Amino acid sequence: MSVTRFDPPRRRDPAALIIAAGLAVVAGVMLWDSARLADLGGYSGVGPASVPRVVAFGLLGLSVWTAIEALRGDFPQRPRQAPAPVLWIVAGLSAQMMLLHVAGFSIATGILFAFTARAFGKTNLAMTIPLGIGFAFVVWTIFSQLLMLNLPAGPLEHLIFPGA
Amino acid sequence: MGAFDFLLQGLATAAEPMMLLYALIGVTLGTAVGVLPGIGPALTVALLLPVTYRLDAAGSLIMFAGIYYGGMYGGSTTSILLNTPGESASIITALEGNKMARKGRGGPALATAAIGSFIAGLIATLLLAFLAPWIVKVALVFGPREYFALMVLAFVTVSAAFGDSALRGLTSLFLGLALACVGIDQLTGQARLEFGVPVLLDGIEVTTMAVAMFAVGEALFIAGQRIHIDDELTAVKGSIWMSASDWARSWKPWLRGTFIGFPIGAMPAGGAEIGTFLSYATEKKLSKHPEEFGHGAIEGVAGPEAANNASAAGTLVPLLTLGLPTSATAAIMLAGFQQFGLQPGPLLFATNPTLVWGLIASLLIANFMLLVLNLPLIGLWVKLLTVPKPWLYAGILLFATLGTIGANPSTFELGMLLGFGVLGYGMRLFGYPIAPIVVGLILGPMAEQHLRRALSISQGDWGYLVQSPIAAVLLGIAALALIVPLILRARGKGEMLSQLAGDED
């Protein structure tokens, strides 16, 4: 910036401003939702819409406070982050979510396993995906057959446990 | 019957062979997971919750008690040998314990931590047993306004009193309260903030949110740091047994730590860290070898470790007697109760005494098991510390999603896990504490119900809330806990508070 400032280099924090905006949006959604509730306050005068409104106004206040701290540059320094590993894990979780009911627990979770390992530096997916599927299958067997949890079965599970 | 008779009855319940087996599985799993680097007790309890889904209520809660205590023991091993505390309450243990391990005294450090944890757990569980009936008696006269005041106090202490910023603590809390509004309003049956999604009518699952925040958020954060050097493990050399002088220097810190930690855990003061810091300061002042502090003083491991465990048992006092979780770990335990439709509190002591006392008694049994399990098997636990990070976090995420799928095998639930995981990542990135959002989600609906009941009784008169002396005092303390730290921070004395901050429990 070309403006001479006498302050020490405390700069505006755009990311924190986005947080402030996000908080305001959440507050707005809550106020909008509470407006359509029939307010059956009864004797108390406090109905189902009251607490969401109080929380929404609290969030609005915090949004303003956040904006002030953001403009004054009061937010702490953020640790450096590499985007690629984070995206690998998000991709793994998304893949598991979408494949779960199609491919069954073991295959879907095996892919999550391999992608997470990829994020932490094990890049050989040809090795980690089968490993992950094998491990997830063992876990599936223990939890669905022994501990009776309801875990979705897919082709692999049906192949080995035809009754599942 | 007095507390002693109830406790004996509970011991009879907990000593049934099946119950002993459940307790043994619980402590083993708890230690194994708790020892893994980066996993604190809150995440241990959340990850292992699905193991207990299909058991009966008593067996499941007993296993759960074992997991809770096991996770605490496991955490101290990690901090002594790795110097990367898995939880904020172990920072001090890492400080002195790791120094001892580096000097080749890792064995005595682990031993004094384990025995100190045992003694603290024993005394604190007995205190819990004898205090609980008294608090239950007091709590029976509590009305909605007293409960509301208690919850406000818990909100403030968890979010604003400690940590480096009241703004971020409160923001985290209010996000939790906003999420708590989702679902059917319990008093009028109207749907709130459900956006036409039927799954949301039941509200947001606490365990999904906690697992997402602690496991997914943490995994994303660690992955993003891209530092894949495995932490340096200090090998345990020499004898693991304590010498006579180690015993002489340890027993007083154990007892002092216990009596410092227990009341702090029992009060809604948020977390075990404060007790460990106070205990450390006390030991440093009283020690005959103050020059050793910072270089591996055994008192600095013994006292804080005892305080840590004593306050973990202390948090069970408000949880069991009032239904009030004062830490993230306790909030997840409360979710564990709720999966069986049990609401901890004074009524549970009246309606289901076998269950409550069985649980308290099994804490004693779990404590004995842990002592036996920990010292001889230390080599096995140390092996777990060397699991390389890719496999460790891949496994953590596998089990995190397993719990969510096991509770509700739906794509939507996994989507929420991912969404909250990303939120947890963002919160870590910007220095927002995690515990307030979890506590807000679980306590929010209860606080709302009590507030609305209180106002129904008073026919809308807000003054009613402060007309009972108990409620007025509690709200007064809450106000002080909010204002005093703000003033301290404004005067630049915030560093002490941020040191007391807790991430996890």
pLDDT per residue as tens digits for the range A47-88: 888 899 999 999 999 999 999 989 988 788 888 888 999 999
* Rounded (10°) angle between helices B144-156 and B435-457: 160
pLDDT at B269: 58
Contact B430 A75 (CB under 8 A): yes
Residue with tokens 């040809």: A126
| Contacts with A48 from chain B: Cβ below 8 Å | 185, 187-188, 190, 192
DSSP code at position B191: E
pLDDT at B237: 63
| Contacts with B193 from chain A: Cβ below 8 Å | 29-30, 33, 52
Contact B51 A19 (CB under 8 A): no
pLDDT at B324: 85
Could you say which of B219, B220, B394 has the minimum Cβ distance to residue A132? B394
Contact B430 A78 (CB under 8 A): yes
Could you say which of B177, B220, B452 has the minimum Cβ distance to residue A46? B452
Contact A46 B398 (CB under 8 A): no
To the nearest whole percent, how much of chain A has pLDDT over 90?
52
Half-sphere exposure of residue B204, counting CA atoms within 13 Å on the CB side?
32
Contact B476, B483 (CB under 8 A): no
CA–CA gap between residue A68 and residue B68 (Å, rounded)? 41
**Closest CA–CA distance from residue B213 to any residue of chain A (Å):** 14
Could you say which of B405, B429, B448 has the minimum Cβ distance to residue A81? B429
Mutate to test the interface with B, among A23, A43, A51, A77 (most CBs of B within 10 A): A51
pLDDT at A6 over 50: no
To the nearest whole percent, how much of chain A has pLDDT over 70?
90
Contact B193 A136 (CB under 8 A): no
Say what the ipTM of the complex is.
Answer: 0.90
Contact B78, B293 (CB under 8 A): no
Could you say which of A15, A51, A121 has the minimum Cβ distance to residue B390? A121
| Contacts with A97 from chain B: Cβ below 8 Å | 411, 414-415, 418
pTM: 0.87
Could you say which of A37, A76, A98 has the minimum Cβ distance to residue B190? A37
* Rounded (10°) angle between helices A14-35 and B166-180: 30
| Interface check A126 vs B, CB under 8 A | no
pLDDT at B425: 94
**Closest CA–CA distance from residue B220 to any residue of chain A (Å):** 5
Query: What are B476-481's contacts with CB under 8 Å, separation 24+?
Result: B477/B153, B478/B149, B478/B152, B478/B153, B478/B155, B478/B156, B478/B157, B479/B156, B481/B153, B481/B156, B481/B157, B481/B160, B481/B161
CA–CA gap between residue B224 and residue B166 (Å, rounded)? 27
Q: Enumerate the β-bridge partners of residue B184.
A: B191
Least confident range from A109-118, A123-132, B111-120, B152-161: namely B152-161
- Helix residue ranges, H only, B215-352: 217-225, 244-266, 273-286, 299-322, 328-338, 346-351
Mutate to test the interface with B, among A143, A144, A148 (most CBs of B within 10 A): A143
CB pairs under 8 A between A and B: 195
CA–CA gap between residue B61 and residue B33 (Å, rounded)? 18
pLDDT at B232: 64
Which amino acid, residue A78? Answer: R
Q: Cβ contacts of residue A18 below 8 Å, gap of 6+?
A: none
| Contacts with B390 from chain A: Cβ below 8 Å | 116-122
Contact A101 B411 (CB under 8 A): yes
| Contacts with B188 from chain A: Cβ below 8 Å | 40, 47-48
Q: Cβ contacts of residue B310 below 8 Å, gap of 6+?
A: B120, B121, B123, B124, B257, B258, B259, B260, B261, B262, B265, B275
DSSP code at position B1: -
Nearest chain B residue (CA) to A35: B192
What is the pLDDT tens value at each position of chain B, 505 positions in all?
A: 577 888 888 888 888 888 899 899 889 988 888 888 777 778 888 887 777 777 788 888 888 888 888 888 887 888 788 766 555 666 777 778 888 888 888 888 888 888 999 999 999 999 998 888 888 888 888 889 999 998 998 888 888 766 678 899 999 999 999 999 998 888 788 888 888 888 888 889 888 898 899 889 989 998 888 665 556 667 666 666 788 888 888 889 999 999 988 988 887 655 557 788 888 888 888 888 888 888 888 888 889 889 888 988 888 888 899 888 877 888 888 888 887 888 888 888 888 888 889 889 999 999 999 888 887 777 787 778 778 888 989 999 998 998 888 888 889 999 999 999 999 999 989 989 888 898 899 889 989 999 998 988 888 888 888 899 989 999 998 898 888 888 887 776 555 555 555 444 4
Compute chain A's Rg from CA coordinates: 25
Residue with tokens 């209520």: B57
| Interface check A130 vs B, CB under 8 A | no
Please give the structure tokens belonging to residue B46.
């959340």
Could you say which of A16, A55, A147 has the minimum Cβ distance to residue B174? A55
| Interface check A86 vs B, CB under 8 A | yes
| Interface check A17 vs B, CB under 8 A | no
pLDDT at A1 over 50: no
pLDDT at B291: 82
pLDDT at B497: 58
**Closest CA–CA distance from residue A5 to any residue of chain B (Å):** 24
In 10 A of CB B121, how many CB atoms? 26
Contact A113 B389 (CB under 8 A): no
In 10 A of CB B215, how many CB atoms? 26
CA–CA gap between residue B86 and residue B84 (Å, rounded)? 6
Contact B192 A15 (CB under 8 A): no
pLDDT at B504: 41
Phi-psi region of A73 (alpha: psi -120 to 50; beta: other; left: phi over 0): left
Task: List the beta strands (DSSP E) in B14-98.
Answer: none
Please give the structure tokens belonging to residue B234.
């200090």
CA B443 centroid distance within chain = 15
B251-290 burial, b at 16+ Cβ within 10 Å, e below that, comes to eebbbbbbbbbbebbbbbbbbbbbbbbbbbebbbeebeee
